Structure formats: structure tokens, C-alpha cells
Structure 1
Amino acid sequence: MSMSFQAARLAFVAAIASLVRVNAVDNGLARTPQMGWNNWNAFACDVSEELLVQTADLIVGYGLRDLGYEYVVLDDCWSAGRNASNNNTLIPDPIKFPRGMSAVAEDMHVLDLKFGMYSDAGRYTCGMYEGSLGHETTDANTFASWGVDYLKYDNCYNEGYAGNQAISSERYRTMGDALNATGRPILYSLCNWGEDYPWNWGSTIANSWRMSGDIFDMWDKYDARCPCEGKDAWNCELPGFHCSITNIMNKVSFIVSKAQPGAWNDLDMLEVGNGGMTDDEYVAHFSMWSVAKSPLLIGADIRKILPQDLAILNNAAVIAVNQDPMGQSAGRRWMYETEENGPGAIQLWTGNLRSTTGGRWNDMVVLLINGKDRAIEMNATLIDIFSDVRPKGKPAQASMAWEVRDLWADRMSTEKAAAIIAAAKGNSTVPFNATAIAEGRFNTTQTSYADGLKSNSSILLGKVIGTVEPQGNIKATVPKHGAVMYRLRALPSDRNIDEL
């Protein structure tokens, strides 16, 4: 067999394999991307029981729990080693967590929140604490006995058990099997930074997998510690860290089809509220994570959150895209004015959402991103927007009229967000907190996003700003390093065709 024929055959097999949709891990969790808070971006190893309890109280007080932010996840640096006289079980640091982890978990559960913890698929964690490699069954049982609902599982000091997909998948599968064997539902979040292509094997093992190196609070600055740009960014042998928003955005663009209910590409924790980006950049960041169906884990110190940042994190219309029951990630349809995805790129992302019109036509999310250093007018034709629909170049939807809804138009005012923050902290004599405000709020403890969308909740659908006619286009002025985000809904009209 010639080398050229062999290469062609392997390429064909790979192409066919990429079309096969492998079922997600069957633990019943994360049917939509998980939401919550993680301490690492803001606090690193400076963790304590007090921090978690204070944060949990504010998640409730700000109304974030009611929007779906339900997991409070403790990251690295919480342990004090292993108890050799008790099956080498992990010991919580008695200074940081004097009441133990079961008590912390109970504090979360009393607030109708869920408790997450961290370990590592290596000898040590990234902070040089005890890892779980070789102790998977013991540690899984320990986590379950403490009432843990979520495990973030890192990749430091892995003893060389990496380098190909078979080795890495087996190392992570061992903990997944151990968690499942406990009988407790524990969401399993892989954090191997995209090493050994976890999007190819993670869906049968875990509920999400990190697909890049660690995020950093910056829009587009290049950092040599986070290599891999441009068209080969998905094939990154050194995932690195200090990754910008645009770096991660480009890397995920190649693997969006791997996301599915119960198993998600994890673009890393949100940086909204950490202060390193502009408001427009944070809006674009949150919008991108939402359309990509990334887990939404707040990474800021919400005890110090600014009102404008809370007004990003609590936008139910944008969150509803992330939590859409169809579970389909948006894809990048075009990118222009770029040098191998340099910071000047302008991009169009679109994706299917479950229909809210009761007809055969799905809704569509449209995200226009401006990476240039000035505001510009951008436009996207219906053919662009529906370019992923067959037949290529002639999608039936381009011959229809669509209602256009702006998903950021009804963003909470800074004044209202400030009042919520003040009340939640006990700094206001007015009973003006998130749970007391009925107007303009959505509460998932009463109505799921799926049911809210089905009932055409205006809070979730955004503000009607116009119509795009058949064969037409959408135009918008997009701020520097910013985004606009729309939901398109099919209009009942004689102009709209009835059949494909």
C-alpha cells in the first residue's frame, strides 16, 4: 500500500469518525452546562471556610442562585495530607476548615446550593498538596461521604501518564468510575488543559473538559506562556497558561461539535469582575462563553463585585442561550481582517436554539464580535447566519423573514444592581434585594430555562429591535473589543416558505 493511499485512507477514516456522535457520560448531570462559582481566579490558595460561606450567602442574596449558579467550588490548597491510620484518607486543613468538609457541604445544601471540591490526577495537586493518582477509590468515597456534588480534577504532576489519548483517558476514567461507584451524583469536571485532545474521549468519562490552558484576565494580549495561535491552535502540545479571551475563543472554534448535553467544552472560569478588562470586553467574554455552551463558573470575588459586573452575570436572556435545551454550541461562520487570528479579527458566530415559535424552524443565536481597536459597523447576511444549514449557499432560512431580539438591550441598570449588592450585604434599610424584585427577574427554582423559553418569557427572549427580511442582513455598530448578541425567531408570514 502506498504512503499516499494510506494517508488518504486515514484521513477518510478520521473524517467519518468525526461525524459519529458518541453518547455522553450517563450520570444524569449537566444536561445543560453547569453554573456556579470557583475561588481560584480571585484567591488561588487563599481559601477558607469563611470565604465559602460568605460567598454562598451572597450568591443567594444577589439572586445568582435563582439564575442557575448553583455550584460553590473549592479549588486547590485545602488539604493537610493523608491519614495513614485511616486508609490514607485526605485530611482537610484544620485551620482553614475547622469544622471539616461535611459541615461546609451542609452549609451549601441548606442554601439550596451544591458543593464542589478539587483534586488532581497526579501525585500532587498544582499547589503541591496531595493528589489522587493511585488513591482514586479512597478519595471518591471520601468526597461522597462529605456530601460533595462536584469534582474538578486537575493534571499536575501526573507522573508521565500522558502523551496520548489512551493513557490520559484511562487515568481520568479511573476517577470517573470511582465517583460513579459511590452511588452519589457527583458532576465530574476534567481539567487537563486540552492535553491529549480530551474532546475526543471526555464525553464518555466526564461532564466537561478544559480545552485550553488557564485563562487570564485579558482580552487579546499575546503571552508566550500560552502558545498556539491561528489555524493549528487546536493541535497544541503545550497548553500553557495566561491565555487571553481571543486565544481561547480561537481554540474552541475548531471543536464546537464535540459539545453535547451532559458533556461540554470548558473554556475555563469567567473573568468578569476581576478588573482586568473593559465592560465591553467582559460583555463579549460572557457572550462568547454562553454561545459556546461553556460551563459558567464565576471566578471573581463577589464580595467586592461592581454593579456593572453583576449586571453582566445576571443577564437571563444571555444565560438562556447557554442553558438552551437543544444543547448545541454555536460555530464560527467567518473571521476577517486578521493575521492568523491576531487581535484585530472580526467574527460571526451563530448556532441553533430550540424553537420558541412553535413551528418547525429553530431559533438562531447571532454573535458579532469586534476585536479591532475601534468601533465598527458589522453586518451578516442571512446566508452567512445559516451557512451551516444544507444546502450550502442556499439555506431555506435565508428566504424567510426573522424577528430580531437584542439580548443585551434589557441589561440590568447599574443603579438596580448597586441596590441589590447593598441589600445583600446588609448595607441598606430598604428591602431591595434580588428575591424581592419581581420585575425583570427570572427564577430557575420556580421555572426552568426550558419551560421559560417554551412559555415565551420576555425576560429570556430579549428585546425586539426589528425584522430582517428574506435575503436580508443584520447590521450593527459593535464597540471596540465588544459584541452584539441577537436571538432570531422565525416570523409567520406568507413570505416564508413552508417546505425545505
Structure 2
Amino acid sequence: MFRKNLSVFMLASLGLLAVSTAAVAQSSDLAATPPMGWNSWNHFAGKVTDADVRGAADALVSSGMRDAGYIYVNIDDTWEGERDASGVLHTNSKFPDMKALADYVHSKGLKLGIYSGPGPKTCAKYEGSYGHEEQDAKMYAAWGIDYLKYDLCSFTQLMKQQTGDEHSEKAFEMQKVAYEKMHKALVATGRPIVYSLCQYGWNDVWEWGPQVGGNLWRTTGDINDHYDRMEQIGFSQAGLAKFAGPGHWNDPDMLEVGNGGMTDDEYRQHMTLWVILAAPLLAGNDLSKMSPETLAILTNKDVIAVDQDKLGKQGDRVWAEGPKEIWAKPLSGGAKAVALFNRAPDPKAITLKLSDVGFGANAKMRDLWTGKDVTSTNGAYTVLIPKHGTVLLKVSQ
């Protein structure tokens, strides 16, 4: 096992990473609330094109998602072409003019995101940024890019080659240096670019992500459109709340809402868990073919407000009994969002004791999914929740 938390002195003395409070301050100016938008990978994967991205931008506007807060249109892997003799990375035929695409997205009141990684190759074996960090960052800024997802991928091979073990302490330091190098390159461009670290939660990234300039960092491996995987990822986030806040967020991966592999109740649980976690809300579905139910889940303004609350606090588990759980998230103004989760394959009654979340018997409660006020009896609220379902309450005194 690698050491989880080296001291600043040791890092500096090794010459591997100068932990910079300035880097944290610069990053906190971006992503004051968890980023919201859309990413191409979950639906289009390697087939994404310029036309698909323009279509997604159009759909974000026409569906009302932009006005609900979804402003980033993020291109994932497979946009990259080849580098020329000067090292300049060109786009491939699917993306003939990235600057024109950025201009189009910006004309819609949206922002454009892109993808790369610190290794020689991306996950899909396209050109990475290794050895060209400053060059690529300048190119992104010139295009008008607003968000960079930076995926570890082939850099793990370099870590293994240079240290003999990609899980060694030296390999861990290599990883930190690589992420900080791109952060510095982005800052040097003068353009505000949200920086998303994608390295699957290795090495307790939540402990050092802000120090290398990360605005968000993946805390897990990849999600997929199945309840078991979403559940495993989402509920494993308990205990990480103290590492999140304005400008730096834990990222349990993108939303699968609307991709067809879960029921509407399961998607509501997915969305509820993500907003309680103050997670980035990056939709990954085909925006041109959303059902009314999918759109309603993604655009419920009261639910989104929990995620985007200015206090910037991540929620955590406060009670659990078998497959039944209650999580709470502090909100500005002294209120709390309280989520009741049924992880069982059959309906379950769950009782919330208001005292367990810091409120008296006369607290006000509003069900954010139904939009209706609910009341307690002797300081307790009991509700029957369908299998894999959820209730999300806003509780205030």
C-alpha cells in the first residue's frame, strides 16, 4: 500500500510537488457550486461528432435544461487527431473546426468542455498531452474551452515503467506532479478553465486534489446504467463530505438518468443521492429523445437547488438500518436537505426522527419531488418508499 498523506515538507524536500495555497485559491474562483452540464461519453462514446455536440447544445436550450443550470457541453474522448511536426495537436475529421464549435456553443449561452490526459495516449488510444501540456493548454484557451477533463489512463504505464510499480509511493508522486503541471499550464493561459481530475479515486485524491488545482476529482471507477453500479458508487461516498466545498468537489461520475437501464424510481434515487453529495451534475443521456419523466427528474428546480446551494456543503449518512438509509445535507439559512433511501428490492417504510437531523417536532418539511408540504407526528415522519426509491425533504425550523 502507498502512503496516503505525505507532509508538505517531505513533498517539497523530494522536489516532487510544491503544494501551493495559491493553486487552491485560484481553483476556488471556479466551480463555486458543483458544475452542471452534459458529457458525450455515456451515450455517444467514441462516435461523438461536431454535429452531436451542436445538437446537445440546442437541446439543452430547447428543453429548459440550460435555464435549470446545465451549462457545460463536454466533449469526451475521441476528438483528437495527430500532432504535426511542431507538436500542435489537430482535431480529427469528426471535429473539423473546434473554435467554430466553441463559438456556436457560447452563442447559446453555454460553455464547452474537452478531454485529454497526462499520458501519451488517452483511454481510447488517441493523442494525450504528455510532453505537450503548455502547448495544449494554450490551444484550448485559443479555441475558447471552458472545462478540461484530464484522465489518467496511459500515464499509469509511465508510472510503472519509471518506478517498477504503479502503486508505489514514487508513482503516486509522479501522478501528482503530472496533474499539477497541467493545472499550471491552464492558469498560465489566463482563461478560466474548470479542471476535472479523472483518476478513479486512487491515492485518496480528495486529500490532495485542491493542492494540484483540481476543481473536482473522480472518487470512484466508472459508473454504468445499472442500479447495482450506481448504488455501489453513490452510497460509498459516506465520510467524504469534509473534503468538498466551493471550488473543489468530490465527483462520483456522471449521471445515467434517462439512458434506459433503470426505472424512474431508481433514476430519482440516483439524482437524489447525487444532489445530497453536492456532486457535479453532468447528464449523459440522448438529449434529443428524453421522456417527460427523464426531463422532470433532471430539471426539478427544488432538487437542483439542493446540489447548488451556496453553502457548498456535501451531505452524509446519518442513519442506516439494513437497506434503509437517511442522509442529510446542510443548506444555507439553517435548513437541511434530508433524503430517505430504500435500497431494498421491495417497498419499505422509513421513519425520520426530526431530532436525528437537528430539528424540533414543529419543523417544516417539504417533499421536493412532489412539491408538497408534509407533517410529522410527535417529531417523526414515516413514509412508505417503493423499491429502490427515495424521498427528498427540505427541513427548516
For residue 487 of structure 1, what is the amino acid of its counterpart? K
Choose which of 145, 149, 174 in structure 2 pairs with 1:148.
145
Question: Is 2:120–2:130's contact at 8 Å kept on the other side of the alignment?
Answer: yes
Give the Cα separation in 2 of the matches to 1:348 and 1:217: 23
The answer to whether residue 393 in structure 2 is matched with residue 486 in structure 1 is: yes
Displacement of 1:272: 0.3
Choose which of 464, 481, 489 in structure 1 pairs with 2:373.
464
The answer to whether residue 220 in structure 2 is matched with residue 212 in structure 1 is: yes
Give the Cα separation in 1 of the matches to 2:174 and 2:342: 40
TM-score, normalised relative to structure 1: 0.71
Displacement of 1:401: 2.1
Give the Cα separation in 1 of the matches to 2:265 and 2:190: 44
1:176–1:250 distance in 2 versus 1, CA, 3 Å: same
Question: Is 2:361–2:376's contact at 8 Å kept on the other side of the alignment?
Answer: no
- Structure 2 equivalent of residue 45 of structure 1: 46
For residue 255 of structure 1, what is the amino acid of its counterpart? L
- Structure 1 equivalent of residue 341 of structure 2: 369
Displacement of 1:279: 0.5
Question: Is 1:284–1:481's contact at 8 Å kept on the other side of the alignment?
Answer: yes
- Structure 1 equivalent of residue 280 of structure 2: 295
Question: Is 1:406–1:464's contact at 8 Å kept on the other side of the alignment?
Answer: yes
| Secondary structure class of the residue paired with 1:117 | strand
Give the Cα separation in 1 of the matches to 2:133 and 2:188: 11
| Secondary structure class of the residue paired with 1:196 | helix
Question: Is 2:313–2:330's contact at 8 Å kept on the other side of the alignment?
Answer: yes
Question: Is 1:402–1:468's contact at 8 Å kept on the other side of the alignment?
Answer: no
Q: State how 1:36-435 maps to structure 2 within 5 Å.
A: 36-84=37-85, 87-93=86-92, 95-98=93-96, 100-158=97-155, 159-161=157-159, 162-163=166-167, 164=169, 165-204=172-211, 205-220=213-228, 244-337=229-322, 345-355=323-333, 362-386=334-358, 397=359, 399=360, 401-410=362-371
Displacement of 1:24: 4.1
| Secondary structure class of the residue paired with 1:372 | coil
Displacement of 1:134: 1.7
Give the Cα separation in 1 of the matches to 2:267 and 2:143: 36
Give the Cα separation in 1 of the matches to 2:25 and 2:389: 35
- Structure 2 equivalent of residue 495 of structure 1: none
| Secondary structure class of the residue paired with 2:121 | coil
1:24–1:350 distance in 2 versus 1, CA, 3 Å: farther
Give the Cα separation in 2 of the matches to 1:116 and 1:479: 37
| Secondary structure class of the residue paired with 2:134 | helix
1:468–1:146 distance in 2 versus 1, CA, 3 Å: farther
Question: Is 1:364–1:489's contact at 8 Å kept on the other side of the alignment?
Answer: yes
| Secondary structure class of the residue paired with 1:474 | strand
- Structure 2 equivalent of residue 444 of structure 1: none
Question: Is 2:59–2:287's contact at 8 Å kept on the other side of the alignment?
Answer: yes
Task: Give aligned-pair identity as a percent.
Answer: 42
Q: Deviations over 1:91-120 (max 9, x none)?
A: 001x2122x100000000111100000001
| Secondary structure class of the residue paired with 1:366 | strand
| Secondary structure class of the residue paired with 1:169 | helix
1:380–1:184 distance in 2 versus 1, CA, 3 Å: same
Give the Cα separation in 1 of the matches to 2:343 and 2:118: 36
Give the Cα separation in 1 of the matches to 2:240 and 2:377: 30
For residue 194 of structure 1, what is the amino acid of its counterpart? G
| Secondary structure class of the residue paired with 2:190 | coil
Unaligned runs of 5+ in 2: 1-5, 7-20, 160-165
For residue 367 of structure 1, what is the amino acid of its counterpart? A
Higher Cα Rg, which structure: 1
Unaligned runs of 5+ in 1: 1-9, 11-21, 221-243, 338-344, 356-361, 387-396, 411-462, 491-500
Q: Say which structure is richer in helix.
A: 2
Displacement of 1:466: 2.4
Give the Cα separation in 1 of the matches to 2:383 and 2:180: 46
TM-score, normalised relative to structure 2: 0.89
| Secondary structure class of the residue paired with 1:104 | helix
Displacement of 1:382: 2.2
Equivalent pairs counted in the alignment come to 365
Give the Cα separation in 2 of the matches to 1:365 and 1:474: 14
| Secondary structure class of the residue paired with 2:149 | strand
Displacement of 1:381: 1.2
Displacement of 1:171: 1.3
| Secondary structure class of the residue paired with 1:44 | helix
| Secondary structure class of the residue paired with 1:72 | strand
Question: Is 2:361–2:380's contact at 8 Å kept on the other side of the alignment?
Answer: no
For residue 83 of structure 1, what is the amino acid of its counterpart? D
Give the Cα separation in 2 of the matches to 1:259 and 1:279: 28
Question: Is 1:37–1:299's contact at 8 Å kept on the other side of the alignment?
Answer: yes
Give the Cα separation in 1 of the matches to 2:210 and 2:105: 28
